[in-house]
């Protein structure tokens, strides 16, 4: 099974999800999304896979959210996606993608939703 994690090593939740994957015997492809952000198309695809709106994926704390005025509810989804592509720190993390789908792993245990049943029972 192919597994990818959009990871920020400075984030404790992201580190925990990576640890849970490894404990399940999975060595994921690690995307350091702050250095290698998803394209606009990739981000739109991820949102669709996770059944989330751009606003739901926006990270507020420790980001330029306020400075950019992203709390303005009149901003379109396209404008929010553009902001996340330009400032990837605005993308909430970690996101894990597998053959079973994609999920924002907050809390970290949500990672089990996209693991094969055998691996998902390792730690639950």
Catalytic residue check, 105: no
Please identify which of the residues 2, 5, 11, 39 carries the catalytic annotation.
11
How many CA within 13 A on the CB side of residue 116? 9
Q: How many helices (H) and strands (E) does the chain have?
A: 5, 4
CB 58 within 8 A of CB 70: yes
**Which residues are identified as catalytic?**
11
């Amino acid at each position: 099974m192919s597994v990818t994690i959009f990871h920020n090593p400075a984030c404790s939740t992201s580190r925990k999800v990576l640890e849970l994957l490894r404990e399940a015997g999975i060595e994921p492809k690690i995307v350091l999304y702050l250095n290698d952000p998803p394209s606009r198309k990739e981000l739109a695809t991820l949102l669709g896979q996770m059944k989330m709106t751009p606003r739901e994926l926006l990270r507020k704390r420790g980001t330029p959210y306020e400075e950019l005025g992203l709390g303005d509810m009149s901003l379109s989804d396209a404008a929010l996606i553009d902001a996340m592509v330009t400032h990837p720190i605005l993308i909430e993390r970690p996101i894990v993608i597998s053959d079973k789908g994609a999920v924002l792993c907050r809390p970290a245990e949500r990672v089990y939703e996209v693991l094969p049943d055998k691996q998902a029972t390792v730690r639950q």
